[in-house]
Amino acid sequence: MKNVFKRVAAVSLAAAMTFGFAGCNTNGESGSSNNGAGNGGSAGNGGTLVIGGIGPITGGAAQYGVAVKNGTQLAVDEINAAGGVNGITLKLEFQDDEHDAEKSVNAYNSLKDKDMKLLIGTVTSAPCEAVSKEAAKDNMFLLTPSGSSVDCITAGDNCFRMCFTDPMQGSIAANYIADNMSAKKIGIIYDSSDSYSTGIVSGFEEVAKTKGLEVVEKQAFTADAKTDFSVQIQKIADSGAEMLFLPFYYTEAALVLQQAQGKLDIPVFGGDGLDGIIDVLGDKVDIADGVYVMSPYAASSPEAKSAAFTKAYQEKFPNDPLNQFAADAYDCVYAVKQAMEKADVKDASISASELCNKLKAAMTQIELDGVTGKTKWAADGEPEKAPKVLKIVIKDGKGEYEVLS
């Protein structure tokens, strides 16, 4: 380590949100056409089927929204160039919701006016909870790549997800700490105003009790006070905690790491919200040296599918964020393709409701071997998949992931 955090760890699985990316265009475009065919390829004569997408292209969560938009578009373009889905051409229509639930519902209604037949989204949890209720009323098929709160897909049997839930992230973090690390006394800083953060904490505490971990201090902050963590850090330091658990997003986590220098010398775990901390730290990226991440995807992975996706993405979107959310979105489109093929959907004029009925039945019968690993779905829409263990290493002043398993 090159700072006081000599052992920094982060459990990252997959879920959503926070901070803009300088490479994002303010009009929501990311260097890709939305003509559906993409790359000069053409599909068959089954018509054009509109896939809707909703996420933050501008604002504080833009890094995730742009990544999801791009990952979705890349998959759409590849599929169309290879002939489409049973002769059907796919077309992506993506709308910016600025990580705002009301704007997300408005975007959903706008996409219905554009003849959307299914939705990849939304990207972040609170908007997804709101939109999923509308989608359930309409019997519109919804597959969120990164909405990780439990209620993102509980509105109806039309809702599925690609990522892990927040409580599951917490439980896996507690199990990993108990099984692989010596720390037994845990200090927690969390965002009490955010369902993502509180969901992870609940899962963590439930498992910690059974695994011999003791939460010796738990300090909260809110969305209205998330820049000065000196009080929380001092409380953790005074508690005798042997590890700090940070179940929130990389913007605030970066501040905690910087403000804790000289005050704490203990390892740190975080949720998947820490994905993006390398970029936001900039020339202070040494803080992330040694971070352990549990994630379904790493850009530096040598695994064939991951490497091919990384290469294609970086060639198409060289100035935009590349993270697990892009990979999850990419896999979402291929899951839809596989489900459509399983259901023998051949005509894009099918109604959204009829398509939904076919897809929600087919989703429980397929297994996707994708960039984020092998995934199956239960009838409740939850995925069955295993995270990879990664480690952030610093090379030539830059952070990258080393795949450990």
Mean pLDDT of 134-153: 96
pLDDT of 405 reads 65
Q: Could you tell me what percent of the chain has a pLDDT over 90? A: 64
| Three-state SS letters, the chain | CCCCCCCCCCCCCCCCCCCCCCCCCCCCCCCCCCCCCCCCCCCCCCCEEEEEEEECCCCCCHHHHHHHHHHHHHHHHHHHHCCCECCEEEEEEEEECCCCHHHHHHHHHHHHHCCEEEEECCCCHHHHHHHHHHHHHHCCEEEECCCCCHHHCCCCCCEEECCCCHHHHHHHHHHHHHHHCCCCEEEEEEECCCHHHHHHHHHHHHHHHHCCCEEEEEEEEECCECCCCHHHHHHHHHHCCCEEEECCCHHHHHHHHHHCCCCCCCCEEECHHHCCHHHHHHHHHHHHCCCEEEECCCCCCCCHHHHHHHHHHHHHCCCCCCCHHHHHHHHHHHHHHHHHHHCCCCCCCCCHHHHHHHHHHHHHHCEEEECCEEEEECCCCCEECCCEEEEEEEECCEEEEEECC
- Token output for 4: 């006081």
- C-alpha 33/C-alpha 79 separation (Å) is 15
Q: How confident is the model at residue 270 (pLDDT cuts 50, 70, 90)?
A: confident
pLDDT of 317 reads 98
Mean pLDDT of 294-302: 78
Mean pLDDT of 137-158: 96
Mean pLDDT of 322-351: 97
Lowest-confidence segment of 62-66, 221-225, 250-254, 267-271 by average pLDDT? 267-271
- The amino acid at residue 233 is I
How large is the C-alpha radius of gyration of the chain? Answer: 21
pLDDT of 402 reads 80
Query: For the chain, what are the domain ranges?
Result: 48-163+303-384, 166-299+387-403
Work out the mean pLDDT of the chain and round it to a whole number. 87
CATH of domain 166-299+387-403: 3.40.50.2300
Mean pLDDT of 68-95: 98
50, β-bridge pairs: 91, 116
Mean pLDDT of 54-62: 93
CATH class of 48-163+303-384: alpha beta
Res 381 pLDDT > 60: yes
pLDDT of 3 reads 39
- C-alpha 148/C-alpha 163 separation (Å) is 6
Lowest-confidence segment of 63-72, 252-261, 273-282, 351-360 by average pLDDT? 273-282
- Same topology between domain 48-163+303-384 and domain 166-299+387-403: yes
Q: How far is CA 191 from the centre of its chain?
A: 18
Res 353 pLDDT > 70: yes
Res 23 pLDDT > 60: no
pLDDT of 74 reads 98
Q: How confident is the model at residue 288 (pLDDT cuts 50, 70, 90)?
A: confident
* Sequence-ordered list of residues with C-beta below 8 angstroms from that of 13, at least 6 positions apart, any chain: 148, 163, 164, 168, 169, 172, 271, 272, 294, 295, 296, 387
Mean pLDDT of 90-103: 97
Mean pLDDT of 384-397: 80
pLDDT of 42 reads 54
